[in-house]
Structure 1
Amino acid sequence: MSLKLENPSVVLKQVGEIVIENRPVPKLQDSHYVKIAIKKTGICGSDVHYYTHGSIGPFVVKNPMVLGHESAGIVVEIGADVQNIQVGDRVAVEPGVPSRYSDEYKSGNYNLCPCMVFAATPPYDGTLARFYTVPEDFVVKLPDHVSLEEGALVEPLSVAVHATRIAKVTFGDRVAVYGAGPVGLLIAATAKAYGATEVLVIDVFDNKLELARTLGATHTYNSGGDRGLSEADLVAKQLAALNGIPPNVVFDASGAEPCIRAGINLIKAGGTYVQVGMGKDDVNFPLTVMGTKELTVRGLFRYSYDDYKMAVKLVSENRVDVKKLITHRVKFDDAVKAFELVRDGKAVKCIIDGPEDI
């Protein structure tokens, strides 16, 4: 195998150990697949969680696994029956492919497919390699003015798009978002793009709240000094941040029980609450408040039909500026540094370049 055909990959060998090693160059699995030379990859909290804990819920790393699932690149090979993608196209890669035979796929909820093959979710390898293959209908072409870095961030933006569409956010809505990590920030930006007129973002870090304002938040609240307050006083202070008028849509992107409880107590009667963040398996949930307010409470898992295309459209029309999330960039050979930056809370979003061609 020539050097040009080597497939360097970022591999999680075991908890706390990441190495770069060569993997076989993947072949097209059928005539509808395309091969992509990966150029940019963002680091997600789930990647870091596998690095530090080795599992997320039922997904346990039992064998070495290639990391990464927020990627964009250039198509270098296409199958014989590929119709809409050409060699040389710059694309965002949707990293989860469902079974074409499941009820979930047939009903239009393919993100819920129990047979989903999702990059960097055990036992499946991720995208942090020179080459990656995927069906042609799970890539989205990027307009010429959209960078590959922006293309990599289409993945977390698609989560925000899915959340906003589930909540049916529209013009005039008042929105609160708990948690100003990348997904929370993108939910705030997407909600604003969908027409929300007031968007409150709640977090404990001022730098993240400042970033939220540049992305569309109209109000921010730092809850870092609220420890020791009663739940009623905490909610009252958050309500005051919205000038005393409760939001009709609340997203929790933190997974933290105090935020979940506050969100249910804060929301307007008849409103919609969407749980985005992952936390403990079981929390103390204000069930009576949910019932007496007659809330619509929704879960969220990744993204589904058309969310990726909508995310690309939001970026291409400058409705959401995903570039503002990028705080660090590292070379492929320094990939371990990227995971450490995110693990230690030093990066909002870190992009890994390459690997470069040899």
Structure 2
Amino acid sequence: MTTPSTHAFWSLGDGRGEIRQAELDCTGELMIRTCYTAISRGSESLVFNGGVPPSEYQRMRAPFQSGEFPGPVKYGYSNVGVVEQGAHDWHGRYVYCLYPHQTHYCVPAEAVIPLPANVAPHRAVLGANMETALNALWDAAPGVGDRISVVGAGVVGALVAWLCGRIPGTTVQLIDIDARKPPLGEALGVDFRTPEDAAAEQDLVIHASASDAGLATALRIAGFEATVLELSWYGSRPVSVPLGEAFHANRLTLRSSQVGSVSPGHRPRWDHKRRLTLALSLLSDDALDVLISGESHFRDLPATFERLTREDDATLCERIRYS
């Protein structure tokens, strides 16, 4: 088979990006034609703008990253494609891979996960977000009948709320400052609230807004001896945490969650691939399409990244198409 012309997106680390030609060598590996990728607005915006702190350069590396922080760097980790070359039994199969934004790429077979038959390829780009949400639930350990609040109705926060809402007897509120998002809560089967209308005395609060104000809301609405799970990633930006008022009297627990490590309670039996395989299987519900609120073409990625890093852009997940 003729090796196709291949191009990849590179973040320059200063609020700019560019499309560059890439080389392929698929000897002994699968060659995959990318159908869709997705942009993780939190981590990829930090990379795009050079906001990864030096202390996190190694921990923030993507599995198939090229280049070094702060940039230029080929970065990304949500790629859905179809196998075009390699072992015969892989031909024509849709697969998910933690690969950056690139038109074609070559990886070993063990680096990809075949999509479940009931998961649409256009929705499977949510795989990395669902894996983060799944790990957060393992860290938070919500219980049957709990009153749960999720602060921050971005993609990860919305997926966390959706997962919590599937636990029997739970009451789940999804909280965001954007008053235009009640339809999102309705589509996911959870109660949408603004911070001013949020119910207090919650058994569990998960914070995913990446803002000081959101964290303050999370601490304010947590009930006595409740846990506030911090899921946001702030990069090198300092954060103001309101640990006065009732924080000590309520004996609150503030705990971090990060997808780079499997949650301790599951780590003895689960590895990253088993966790991601489960996350992909959870994407069969058509209701989750509401989270993909923007789509653009690969060739427009430099401009798309510039748009997504503006605070006034309301896109949830931006899906990138390659045809």
Fold conserved between structures, TM > 0.5: yes
2:235 pairs with 1:267: no
Report the AA paired with residue 315 of structure 2. Answer: A
- Runs of 4+ in structure 1 deviating by more than 6 angstroms, as ranges, are none
Shift of 1:129: 0.5
* Mapping 1:129-278, distance limit 5 Å: 129-195=102-168, 197-218=170-191, 220-223=192-195, 237-238=196-197, 241-242=198-199, 246-278=201-233
Cα 1:35–1:291 change in 2 (3 A) is farther
Greater shift in the superposed pair: 40-49 or 338-347: 338-347
* Mapping 1:1-358, distance limit 5 Å: 4-27=3-26, 34-45=30-41, 46-51=43-48, 53-58=49-54, 59=57, 61-78=69-86, 86-93=90-97, 95=98, 127-195=100-168, 197-218=170-191, 220-223=192-195, 237-238=196-197, 241-242=198-199, 246-279=201-234, 280-286=237-243, 289-302=246-259, 304=262, 305=271, 306-316=274-284, 318=285, 321-344=287-310, 345-354=313-322, 356=323
Alpha-carbon deviations, 1:75-104, whole Å to 9, x = none?
Answer: 334579xxxx723321222x2xxxxxxxxx
C-alpha distance in structure 1 between counterparts of 2:76 and 2:115, whole Å: 20
Corresponding residue pairs, total? 295
Consecutive unaligned residues in structure 1, runs of 5 or more: 96-125, 224-236
C-alpha distance in structure 1 between counterparts of 2:239 and 2:304, whole Å: 31
C-alpha distance in structure 1 between counterparts of 2:254 and 2:107, whole Å: 34
Cα 1:252–1:69 change in 2 (3 A) is same
Shift of 1:34: 4.2
Alpha-carbon deviations, 1:159-178, whole Å to 9, x = none?
Answer: 11111121112321211111
Report the AA paired with residue 307 of structure 1. Answer: R
Q: Is the 8 A contact 2:127 2:276 kept in 1?
A: yes
C-alpha distance in structure 2 between counterparts of 1:293 and 1:137, whole Å: 47
C-alpha distance in structure 2 between counterparts of 1:67 and 1:128, whole Å: 7
Q: Which residue does 2:265 correspond to in 1?
A: none
C-alpha distance in structure 2 between counterparts of 1:149 and 1:254, whole Å: 25
Q: Give the TM-score normalised by structure 2.
A: 0.80
RMSD: 2.8
Q: Give the TM-score normalised by structure 1.
A: 0.73
Q: Is the 8 A contact 1:92 1:142 kept in 2?
A: yes
Q: Is the 8 A contact 2:229 2:257 kept in 1?
A: yes
Identical pairs, percent: 21
Cα 1:301–1:134 change in 2 (3 A) is farther
C-alpha distance in structure 1 between counterparts of 2:314 and 2:224, whole Å: 38
Q: Is the 8 A contact 2:33 2:81 kept in 1?
A: yes
Q: Which residue does 2:267 correspond to in 1?
A: none
C-alpha distance in structure 2 between counterparts of 1:196 and 1:324, whole Å: 24
Shift of 1:294: 3.8
Secondary structure in structure 2 of the residue aligned to 1:193: coil
Consecutive unaligned residues in structure 2, runs of 5 or more: 58-67, 263-270
Cα 1:173–1:138 change in 2 (3 A) is farther
